[in-house]
């Protein structure tokens, strides 16, 4: 029995698209993508501002916070005729009065995620035209992730806002901490399937962010600074260390991409967009090596081998006789 393993045929790497055709194809796409990218950056920031407005006015005075035993004592003494209300009830009641603002913030955040899809897809596709060396399924990660992540986020936040509103419509005696806890956990308890969809969507969105930023940077379509921030954004999608303030960084990144596509970013549009070919940025080692070469060339001065040869002296017609 032969122990030789059959080798799988190696899939040939597809050739890059013709540079002239690439430039012509992207010339009409860039302005539309630039406006879309700027909107994808501005809308989440507007959503954060609306959320901040909705949160404004919540009383943070610690004197109003009571323990469970204190609340029961007051309720038993008749000092709390509206039920065992406390801090949570106050918070939910406040957001219930601002539920439309909360819902508007959710819509802005979701629209920003949806508008990010064509921008990320376009960047991956532009990098693919110049260097088709990565798996083709990367092209669809922004679409799958963006739709799942955006829909799950918007539906959950709007449902939560409706629960806040319903809490304010309850009888005053029923607006207690127990009902407030139910309202706060309503989206998590009633829409658990959205959490699963949102988790899958966030993973695909992170892959889309990373693929778009890294591949576009490697072929010279984005600067190293913008590309590195995009890779950081991929990490923050999965692990939101910045919380809602991460929308500001994401907004900056998309606005920077939009201005780059328009050629209005400092330094202009990278030349890879106009050449249709990959033009990778030099690595740090290459930059240092080039600087060392330039410095060494200046310190040596002119090469003596490059100096003109001395002119021969004119002959005087023979040797002069030595005087005795």
The pLDDT of residue 1: 47
Predicted confidence (pLDDT) per residue in 222-264, tens digit = 999 999 999 998 988 888 887 777 889 999 999 999 999 999 9
Average pLDDT, the chain: 80
Q: Which residue has the higher pLDDT, 114 or 76?
A: 114
The pLDDT of residue 71: 56
The pLDDT of residue 184: 81
Q: Is the pLDDT of residue 323 over 50?
A: no
Of the ranges 16-20, 59-63, 226-230, which one carries the lowest mean pLDDT score?
A: 59-63
Whole-number percent of the chain with pLDDT over 70: 76
Q: Is the pLDDT of residue 319 over 50?
A: no
Distance between CA atoms of residues 261 and 269, nearest Å = 6
pLDDT band at 318 (very low <50, low <70, confident <90, very high): very low
The pLDDT of residue 180: 82
Residue 213: burial class (beta carbons within 10 Å; 0-12, 13-18, 19+): buried
Out of 3-17, 47-61, 105-119, 279-293, the most confident range is 105-119
Residues 6 or more apart in contact with residue 65 via CB below 8 angstroms = 86, 87
Residue 160 burial (CB count, 10 A): 21
Whole-number percent of the chain with pLDDT over 90: 40
pTM above threshold 0.85: no
Of the ranges 203-207, 212-216, 262-266, 286-290, which one carries the lowest mean pLDDT score?
A: 286-290
Predicted confidence (pLDDT) per residue in 114-165, tens digit = 999 999 999 999 999 998 887 788 888 999 999 999 999 899 889 989 999 9
Q: Which residue has the higher pLDDT, 50 or 184?
A: 50
Predicted confidence (pLDDT) per residue in 82-126, tens digit = 444 567 778 888 888 889 999 999 999 999 999 999 999 999 999
The pLDDT of residue 315: 47
Q: Is the pLDDT of residue 32 over 70?
A: yes
pLDDT band at 7 (very low <50, low <70, confident <90, very high): low
Out of 53-57, 187-191, 250-254, the most confident range is 250-254
Q: Which residue has the higher pLDDT, 16 or 258?
A: 258
Predicted confidence (pLDDT) per residue in 263-277, tens digit = 999 888 999 999 989
The pLDDT of residue 282: 77
Residues 6 or more apart in contact with residue 82 via CB below 8 angstroms = 172, 173, 175, 176
Of the ranges 31-35, 218-222, 291-295, which one carries the lowest mean pLDDT score?
A: 291-295
């Amino acid at each position: 029995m032969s122990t030789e393993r059959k080798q799988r045929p190696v899939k040939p790497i597809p050739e890059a698209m013709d540079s002239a055709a690439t430039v012509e194809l992207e010339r009409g796409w860039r302005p539309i993508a630039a406006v879309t990218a700027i909107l994808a950056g501005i809308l989440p920031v507007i959503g954060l501002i609306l959320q901040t407005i909705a949160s404004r006015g919540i009383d943070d005075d610690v004197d109003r916070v009571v323990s469970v035993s204190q609340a029961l004592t007051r309720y038993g003494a008749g000092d709390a005729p509206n039920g065992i209300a406390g801090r949570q009830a106050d918070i939910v009641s406040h957001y219930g009065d601002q539920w439309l603002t909360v819902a508007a913030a959710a819509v802005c955040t979701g629209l920003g995620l949806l508008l990010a899809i064509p921008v990320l897809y376009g960047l991956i596709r532009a990098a693919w035209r110049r260097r088709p060396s990565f798996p083709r399924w990367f092209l669809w990660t922004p679409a799958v992730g963006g739709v799942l992540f955006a829909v799950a986020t918007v539906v959950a936040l709007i449902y939560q806002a409706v629960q806040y509103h319903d809490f304010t419509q309850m009888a005053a005696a029923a607006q207690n901490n127990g009902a407030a806890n139910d309202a706060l956990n309503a989206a998590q308890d009633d829409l658990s399937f959205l959490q699963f969809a949102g988790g899958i969507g966030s993973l695909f969105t992170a892959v889309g962010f990373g693929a778009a930023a890294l591949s576009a940077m490697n072929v010279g379509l984005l600067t190293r600074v913008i590309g590195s921030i995009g890779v950081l954004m991929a990490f923050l999608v999965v692990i939101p260390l910045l919380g809602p303030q991460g929308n500001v960084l994401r907004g900056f990144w998309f606005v920077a991409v939009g201005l780059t596509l328009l050629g209005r970013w400092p330094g202009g549009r990278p030349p890879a967009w106009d050449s249709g070919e990959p033009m990778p940025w030099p690595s740090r080692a290459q930059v240092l090596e080039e600087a060392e070469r330039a410095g060494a060339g200046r310190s040596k001065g002119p090469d003596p081998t490059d100096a003109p040869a001395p002119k021969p002296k004119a002959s005087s017609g023979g040797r002069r006789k030595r005087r005795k």
